[in-house]
């Protein structure tokens, strides 16, 4: 990745994780028998960004780039216009390091999993200090990560909002594994 692409990836991840981005970058990798754990890194392959251990990157140097189908966990992709979008595969990384979280009532989970935005009426809990435009990870009430999106309202505004008011704009959810099976 060049410097511009790296900046875009880190800015998008920072939007969801805040200072916890450091945990993602410095996370140890325990894939090989070596007693010293390796690190994870980000690699660009065919307009997709992969979160992969350094030991796996070393092992793939024998494979030509055009023959390499995938490498590690795909966390996002660059569009033809050059902007970076996180994909649903990044959810496990985001959920473990999320700065802002929203929990949905059981009655609203299916609506979100079909690609709809989160309304105030479906909100079970919300973390403090969320501002409009912050990245939030959406959980079920039993702490199962369902997806992520962008907040439309601050935490304080959500308390005064009517039940049909928009709280989180949908970006990705685990239902995409079924809806968009061929594209992932």
Q: Which strands, in side-by-side order, build the sheet including 48-53?
A: 28-29, 38-45, 48-53, 73-78, 84-86
Whether the predicted pLDDT of 184 surpasses 70: no
Q: What is the pTM of this model?
A: 0.86
- R_g (Cα) of the chain, nearest Å: 18
Give the pLDDT of residue 92: 92
Whether the predicted pLDDT of 114 surpasses 80: yes
Whether the predicted pLDDT of 31 surpasses 70: no
Give the pLDDT of residue 133: 93
Answer with the residue of higher pLDDT: 177 or 112: 112
Whether the predicted pLDDT of 34 surpasses 70: no
Answer with the residue of higher pLDDT: 48 or 178: 48
Beta strands in the chain (DSSP E): 28-29, 38-45, 48-53, 73-78, 84-86, 101-104, 118-119, 123-126, 135-140, 145-151, 166-173
- At 70-94, the pLDDT tens digits run 788 899 999 999 899 999 999 999 9
């Amino acid at each position: 990745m060049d410097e511009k692409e790296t900046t875009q990836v880190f800015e998008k991840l920072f939007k969801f994780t805040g200072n916890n981005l450091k945990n993602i970058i410095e996370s140890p990798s325990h894939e090989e028998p070596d007693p010293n754990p390796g690190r994870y890194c980000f690699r660009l392959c065919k307009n997709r960004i992969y979160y992969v251990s350094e030991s796996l990157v070393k092992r793939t140097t024998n494979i030509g780039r055009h023959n390499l189908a995938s490498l590690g966990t795909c966390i996002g992709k660059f569009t033809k216009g050059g902007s970076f979008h996180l994909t649903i595969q990044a959810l496990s990384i985001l959920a473990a390091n999320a700065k802002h979280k929203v929990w949905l009532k059981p009655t609203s989970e299916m609506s979100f999993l079909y690609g709809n935005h989160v309304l105030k009426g479906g909100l079970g809990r919300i973390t403090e200090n969320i501002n409009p435009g912050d990245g939030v990870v959406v959980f079920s009430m039993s702490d199962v990560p369902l997806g992520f999106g962008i907040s439309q309202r601050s935490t304080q505004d959500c308390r005064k909002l009517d039940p049909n008011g928009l709280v989180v704009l949908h970006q990705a959810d685990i239902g995409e594994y079924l809806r968009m099976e061929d594209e992932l």
